[in-house]
Every structure is written in C-alpha cells, then in structure tokens.
Chain A
C-alpha cells in the first residue's frame, strides 16, 4: 500500500513525513520522527501519556492518525522548553517533585500548558478535572496539582 505524504508543522518547524494510512500520529512522532518524549501507556486514549496539541487542541496522539497532521500545527513535549530555558511548568515540576518515575510527566506538562493557555486562573477542582485524562500511578497527583496551581499564580503575577 502506498504511503501517505504529509506536510505539517511540529514545534514550529515545517516537517514532512510518509506514513501508512493506519499509522497513529504517536507512532509517526516516535518511530518516524524520533520524538520519543510522547509516551504510549495504553494506545486507547485512557492514560494521556501521549498528549500533544494539534492546532492548539489537547489530544491523545494515539487516537489521531498521522495523516490527520496534514497542514496542522503540532506541539509536543520536545518543543516546550525555550532553548536551554525550561518552561515554568517544567521548572516547577522538578522543583516540587511533581514526578517520580517520569513516564507520565510529558503528557501532564503538555496538558497543563494547554489548560493554562485556556484558563490562566483555574481552581483546584478545574485543574483536577482538566488533568483527569492523564494517569499518574506514582504521585497520587498531589504535587502535580500544586505545581500547576503555583505556576498559574506565578504566570498571572508576571503579566
């Protein structure tokens, strides 16, 4: 079967790739483009470890086809830091020990950034519901939620 030619933008860089019609965006990112920061925890959209944004919308990349990336703007964890400067969320997650094993961390960071872009002043309940699509088995979520709320407050204060 002929491969599909896709033109897209990933983390600001024009990117083209070939994929099979049934290949997920997650597989393209990981296996074709070497962007292994997005993780496969379930392959069924239940764990959020593969979270990316497509045209600003938070999605599980395991539920998106590679071919759907045509013409889209995709942001992954690899594009979150600015050069050698970590994003405030990345910095805060390390500072507050909001990760233990770290496998879910890229997904949580991408999802948290998407939340703060949409709602810079979320309540704890809003953070908990927004992140309910991301599973973490190590932390009990406590330090993750605190880190996101702290960053939200700091980002508001900086404006």
Chain B
C-alpha cells in the first residue's frame, strides 16, 4: 500500500535506527556509563503510610566506599504550583515529595533516602545501615474506602477542589469535576430503555520492558549533564532545574534510546537524585531501577470505579447518558479523571449528558500517564453498557453505534464541537472488515467496542541542515519510542523532493535544539512532524535565495521542484536546475551554511476514533479466555509509515487485552503490593494471542499539511470493552469488575453455570 498522492509518504522504508536496534548497538538508559562513576541506590519505605520521625544516615556515610547520602533535607521545599507533564498535571510541592518522602511515607516503595557508592554491593550494604524511625499510620488502598468520611487522610492540607458546597475539612478527594450538556432528566423521560451499571477497574502498569535509568554528572562550576531514558528530556531538564534550583541552561539532558514508556516515562524519579548525589560526591552517578522498584514506585495507571446510566428509544437512539468516575490518583493528586470523563461519551452524538469525576488519593504509588490516560477506564464502562443496550434492543452493535456516532459538527459534553472526524468511517470500516463479515466460529463469541482520544499538539522545534555534499540532517527533540525518526524523515524527504536515504533524522539533546514537549499525546508525528515540515520549508526558502544569487535573479523567480531549484518560468531566464548538492557546493559564495529552522505551538490536533472487534472463547471449566481473532480499525489521518501505524494499533490492542484479562495491582491487607514482577503481573505473551488485524482508515486531518492525526493512544481504549463484551456474549454473564481473569470468570460461571451460551 502506498499513498498515490505522495512519493514517500505512505511507503515503508527501513527505519533510520534499524541497524542499531537489531545488533545491540543502540544504547538505552542502562547502557550509558562514565569513567569513575558511582552507583546510586534508593532506600524505600516498607510501609504504605507512616510518619518519618527521623533518619539516621551516619553509619551508612561511615561505610567504606560510600561517597554520598541524600534525604529530603537535600532538596529544597517547593511551592504549591501546578505544572504540566505530558497529558497530566503535577504539583511541584508534590513532586519533590514523590522523589523523596519528607514528612510522611505515602506508599510502599516511596523513596526515603539514596546513596552513591563505589559499587552496587556497597550501595546496598549502605542502605541497610540507614535507620529510619517510622510511626506507622493506618492506610487506605481502595478509592471507595479512601472517599469515606472516616478514611485515613493522606494530606492534611487537601481540600476538595470543585466541591459544592466548598469543603471545610481535609479529605482524600482532591477534586470534583463536572460536565453537563442538555438536560439528562428530560432526556431519560423520553427513554424507552434505561440501563444502569457500576463497573470497576484495577491499577495496571505501563509495563515498558526497560526499567528507569539515569546517569548524571555535576561539575564544581554548577554545570550538570544527564543521560536519561525518558519520553521528554526537556521535561527532565525542567523538573530537575525546579527541584534543585538550577538554571535550565546549566543542565544538559541527553535522551538515550528509550525501551518503552507509554506515558510512564514523562515524569522524573531517579534524575534529581542522581544529580544531587553527583553534586555531593563530585563523581558521576548512575542509577537503575530493578523491575520490583518499577512496579512499586513508578507509574502505574489508575484503577477506578465508574457508574453508568444510558437511556435510549426503542429504535436505538441514545437520548440521555450519565457517568460518574472515581479515580485513583495514587499518593498525590492528579489522576487522569478529566480525560476519562471527557472521553466517556465523546464517540457519540447525545443531546443530554451529565458526567462527574473525582480525583482521589490513596496509599499507592503516584499514577502516571498510560496511553490515552483515563480513557480506557470510562470506555470499559460506557462501551459495556452500550453493548448491553444492543443486546436489549437486539441490534447489531456496530449499527447501534452508527446510529449514535459523533460526526463533524457534533458538540461534545466537554464543550468542543468536532471538525472533520472519522468515527462513522471507522465504524463502517470495522463493519466491512474481513473479520466482521466472517460468521463467528462455533464456540466463540464476538465483542465490539469503540474509543476516542483527543490527540495533542503543543510545543515543538526542529532544524534542517544541509551538509557540504548536499545531504540533509533533520534535527528534532523528541525521543523516538516507536519509529518516529522514520516518519519525520519521510515527511522531510517528501517536502524536499529528495530520496529518503538523503535525509538523516537526529534527536538532539536539550542544549542542541529548541524546546520540545514530551513524546506523548500521540503528538510527535503530528506536531514535531509539522515543525520538521516547516523547518524544511524554511530550508527550501533559503535554497531558493541561494539559487537566485547564483542566477542573479529575484528569489521569487525561483521554484523548488523534485529536489531542485528551477526558474519559475522562461521570463526569469534559461538556467539549468540546481540540486541541493550543487547549491551546497557554492554555499560559501552565496551566504554560508544553508539551514532551516522552525518553532511553533501546534494546535489543531485531529481527534482519533477506533473500533475493535474481538472473537474469543471461554473455557467453562477453568475460566481461561482464548482470543481467536482480533481486528483494530482506526481513523489514522494519513499513515506516514503504515507499518509503524499498524504497529501502534497492534501494540495498543494487546495492552488493552492484557488490561481486560489479567493485569492488576494486587494489594494485601497491610497495603503491600503482592505482585511486583512479570511472573505475577501477567502481561500478554506471544502464545496468548492471535494475529492482530488492522484497518487503517484515512480521514486526513485538515490542519496538517499531510493530514496527520495522532495514532498511538486510541488503540488501547476499545480493547478492554471489546474483550469484555465478547466474554459477556460467550458466557451470558455481564461481568463488571476487571480483570476478567480465570479465577473471576470461573467464580462467575460457578454462580450461574446454566448461562454458558456458547456451549
């Protein structure tokens, strides 16, 4: 498949970093080292909730080979100030407490001290010598428990924002939000069918295979260098500058190759500690998390409770919808409850909608973004209920969705009116897919669900430099997490009219390119892509100026075509076209180096919609679910490199399948995480899965020169409910609590054995 409108866009060349990635040469976070480096390790709270009365580090400091120890007193207090991080928001006062506990430890695994020593063995020995005097407090893990009036309160200053009437005493409810459109009371009065259900989901981890890692070196003159595996090295720089009172210009952060992030690497954990330890010891400090630390103290994505009520007329028109989302924020405020609420009904054109959300703290690690943060949680509830509606009305689940689908001009419950979107096209594509047209195999059942994500634009900078031989380097500042170098190079080659192999994309450190917002929000190919296109256009403008100088004509008399400067017409004069190489060869005589630059705040991100179809069977004895066939359809705008677009759909779908079937944070009564490893936190493996078929629906985003929409996040939204809906149709039992793991399904089947419809 290639796009007939373009030469390069829509083709599938090898990625520019391919050879490095398949030979082990690519250097990820833990692969960086410096001469003379120390190893840093973190001491973590064994309690989910405890006052830190005192910390005695003297014995650790006295241990031979220990070069520095830090605790909260080594980090300045921070103001109560909200700053954006990826698609989430964080408070500086909270971040400094999350990287190092101050007054209290708020979750098991919360850092309380860190050491740097000559070896990992010595560092670990030192951790054991640090004496922390805790006063253990009652803890609370579940959202519903944390919202009770008598729950242990995590933060004495936390008054519910948005409460009506205003909160008068501290609680664990950080925020209440509300969205309203139309009049749900009047809407439900018209309804002929009303379905109401309560759902729950558990915390899940992003599950990137590469643990967090950072290497920092601080010089005596105040300059700091950091190598970090991150989705946003500019955010690492910004956070560290704030948390350590250093000018951003004094910190240079180089992003390493990144071994997955999915939103989980948009925050800082190790970087400020490594810098502080390096400042105190005068040596480079390298820190790497173990997998257990990743589970206990980074991410995860929240779990939540969702209440849904949907009313429809008998012909399937949804006339009113309500949704209440109570979401885990972890130990500090800032869950993605906002997007969860906004996305809940965004796939549909409904006149009367009322949505309420609560952001709730509890003694869990602070949640981080995870691919369309919040949306899969509300979609699980809404899409399950819509499936029940389809069953109740005896309608095809895609036809029911088509009847209610959002389209251009639909006003969402959160206030935005959609421009050109592709929800209808995506539903039709799913309906016409080879999968959906094939009857369900005996013993299997089919589930369908949809999902919506906004996608993000935001700040990007890029530059394009012509080398002496005419080849081009395109410089941007977003870590490449899934092939974005290829998509940026394809757009640059298309724009410039040269071969893809003549464009080398490079990801620069924070000192070598202007600011770029994180690799997140499905924004890189869209927003940084636009910055790259603009930098190339700036470069072409300069190339035309140089050709004009050589020909002694006005720059307006020069056009750019197929990688060459040409006279705009015969009136300009008869000149042989000049290639980039020819222009580069004369650059010294025409004004020096030939470069292009662009910086912009990108708006106009095109929203994305996905529709997934899942065929599965349920083993009536064991409760094990086997997914037999799976198709993901999505409006992707324009697929710049279709293989990596398909890969986004496939990977997101499988993460969603894991979320639906197995993944969950399991806590014991003491508030301790019971499954902090890949053996007990069960992510999908190759033998669990069938092929993941994809349908790329291309409804170009009118605000992007190549029609790009973000694609990375939508694919994780539909699968949770697509799987759940198939399980419900296979078993005849509508399960409402995730995950649909074998013990839970077994239990449900035992309670209602006669309902096994598919047998």
Q: Do A and B bind each other?
A: yes
CB within 8 Å of B: which residues of A? 20, 30, 35-44, 46-47, 49, 76-78, 80-81, 86, 90-91, 93-97, 99-106, 109, 125, 127-129, 131-145
Determine whether the beta carbon of B482 is less than 8 Å from that of A100.
yes
**Cα–Cα, bound, A103→B22 (Å):** 9
20 A–B pairs (Cβ distance < 8 Å), ordered by A: A36-B27, A42-B678, A44-B677, A47-B678, A76-B24, A80-B23, A90-B19, A94-B22, A101-B208, A101-B258, A103-B259, A128-B689, A129-B686, A135-B678, A137-B209, A140-B647, A140-B684, A141-B654, A142-B646, A142-B689
Determine whether the beta carbon of B647 is less than 8 Å from that of A90.
no
**Cα–Cα, bound, A40→B289 (Å):** 10
Smallest CB gap from B24: residue in A: A37
Of B23, B261, B652, the most chain A CB neighbours within 10 A belong to B23
Among B258, B655, B686, the residue within 8 A (CB) of A128 is: B686
Contacts A102-B26, A103-B28, A109-B22 given; does A96 touch B643 at CB 8 Å: yes
Min distance, Cβ B500 to any Cβ of chain A, angstroms:
14
**Cα–Cα, bound, A40→B31 (Å):** 10
Smallest CB gap from B207: residue in A: A137
The binding surface of chain A is classed by DSSP as: loop
- The verdict on B211 contacting chain A, using a C-beta distance below 8 Å, is yes
Min distance, Cβ A80 to any Cβ of chain B, angstroms:
7
Smallest CB gap from B655: residue in A: A137
Min distance, Cβ A135 to any Cβ of chain B, angstroms:
6
Min distance, Cβ B657 to any Cβ of chain A, angstroms:
8
Among B12, B17, B208, B679, the residue within 8 A (CB) of A137 is: B208
| A contact residues around B689 at 8 Å (CB) | 128, 140-142
Determine whether the beta carbon of B291 is less than 8 Å from that of A77.
no
| B contact residues around A141 at 8 Å (CB) | 650, 654, 684-686, 689
The binding surface of chain B is classed by DSSP as: loop
| B contact residues around A135 at 8 Å (CB) | 207, 209, 678, 683, 685
Determine whether the beta carbon of B685 is less than 8 Å from that of A97.
no
**Cα–Cα, bound, A81→B23 (Å):** 7
| A contact residues around B358 at 8 Å (CB) | none
Determine whether the beta carbon of B260 is less than 8 Å from that of A97.
no
Determine whether the beta carbon of A94 is less than 8 Å from that of B19.
yes
| B contact residues around A104 at 8 Å (CB) | 209, 259
**Cα–Cα, bound, A139→B684 (Å):** 11
Determine whether the beta carbon of B260 is less than 8 Å from that of A99.
no
**Cα–Cα, bound, A105→B482 (Å):** 12
| B contact residues around A49 at 8 Å (CB) | 209
Among A35, A80, A128, A143, the residue within 8 A (CB) of B687 is: A128
| B contact residues around A47 at 8 Å (CB) | 209, 291, 678
Min distance, Cβ B316 to any Cβ of chain A, angstroms:
32
| A contact residues around B262 at 8 Å (CB) | 137
Determine whether the beta carbon of A94 is less than 8 Å from that of B18.
yes
- The verdict on B152 contacting chain A, using a C-beta distance below 8 Å, is no
- The verdict on B315 contacting chain A, using a C-beta distance below 8 Å, is no
| A contact residues around B259 at 8 Å (CB) | 39, 41, 101-104
Contacts A132-B685, A143-B643 given; does A95 touch B24 at CB 8 Å: no
Among B19, B25, B646, B654, the residue within 8 A (CB) of A37 is: B25
| B contact residues around A44 at 8 Å (CB) | 291, 677-679
- The verdict on B714 contacting chain A, using a C-beta distance below 8 Å, is no
| A contact residues around B25 at 8 Å (CB) | 37
Determine whether the beta carbon of B208 is less than 8 Å from that of A100.
no
Min distance, Cβ B198 to any Cβ of chain A, angstroms:
30
CB within 8 Å of A: which residues of B? 12, 14-15, 17-19, 21-28, 30-31, 121, 206-211, 257-262, 288, 290-291, 481-483, 641, 643-644, 646-647, 650-655, 677-679, 683-689, 691-692
Contacts A138-B647, A143-B643, A144-B686 given; does A90 touch B22 at CB 8 Å: yes
Determine whether the beta carbon of B12 is less than 8 Å from that of A97.
yes
Determine whether the beta carbon of B210 is less than 8 Å from that of A86.
no
**Cα–Cα, bound, A78→B26 (Å):** 11
**Cα–Cα, bound, A144→B684 (Å):** 14
| B contact residues around A95 at 8 Å (CB) | 14
| A contact residues around B652 at 8 Å (CB) | 140
What 5 A-B pairs are tightest by C-beta distance, nearest first? Answer: A37-B24, A103-B259, A94-B18, A140-B654, A102-B21
Min distance, Cβ B29 to any Cβ of chain A, angstroms:
9
**Cα–Cα, bound, A114→B258 (Å):** 26
Number of inter-chain CB pairs below 8 Å: 183
Contacts A137-B651, A142-B691 given; does A132 touch B686 at CB 8 Å: yes
Determine whether the beta carbon of A39 is less than 8 Å from that of B209.
yes
| B contact residues around A36 at 8 Å (CB) | 24, 27, 30-31
Determine whether the beta carbon of A39 is less than 8 Å from that of B210.
yes
Determine whether the beta carbon of A94 is less than 8 Å from that of B678.
no
**Cα–Cα, bound, A39→B684 (Å):** 20
**Cα–Cα, bound, A95→B13 (Å):** 7
**Cα–Cα, bound, A150→B741 (Å):** 34
Determine whether the beta carbon of B21 is less than 8 Å from that of A105.
yes
Determine whether the beta carbon of A43 is less than 8 Å from that of B291.
yes
**Cα–Cα, bound, A53→B18 (Å):** 23
Smallest CB gap from A80: residue in B: B23
| B contact residues around A78 at 8 Å (CB) | 23-24
| A contact residues around B23 at 8 Å (CB) | 37, 77-78, 80-81, 86, 90
| B contact residues around A103 at 8 Å (CB) | 28, 208-210, 257, 259-260
**Cα–Cα, bound, A25→B369 (Å):** 35
Determine whether the beta carbon of B22 is less than 8 Å from that of A38.
no
Determine whether the beta carbon of A139 is less than 8 Å from that of B678.
no
| A contact residues around B30 at 8 Å (CB) | 30, 36, 39-40
Determine whether the beta carbon of A139 is less than 8 Å from that of B651.
yes
Known A-B contacts: A101-B210, A137-B208, A141-B686. Give 14 more (CB < 8 A). A36-B31, A39-B30, A39-B209, A41-B678, A43-B291, A47-B209, A94-B21, A101-B481, A136-B686, A139-B647, A140-B647, A141-B685, A142-B689, A144-B686
| B contact residues around A39 at 8 Å (CB) | 28, 30, 209-210, 259
| A contact residues around B679 at 8 Å (CB) | 44, 46
| A contact residues around B641 at 8 Å (CB) | 97
Of A39, A76, A104, A129, the most chain B CB neighbours within 10 A belong to A39
Smallest CB gap from B206: residue in A: A137
Determine whether the beta carbon of A42 is less than 8 Å from that of B644.
no
| B contact residues around A128 at 8 Å (CB) | 686-687, 689
Determine whether the beta carbon of B18 is less than 8 Å from that of A100.
no
Of A20, A41, A76, A127, the most chain B CB neighbours within 10 A belong to A41
Min distance, Cβ A1 to any Cβ of chain B, angstroms:
10
Min distance, Cβ A14 to any Cβ of chain B, angstroms:
20
Determine whether the beta carbon of B210 is less than 8 Å from that of A41.
yes
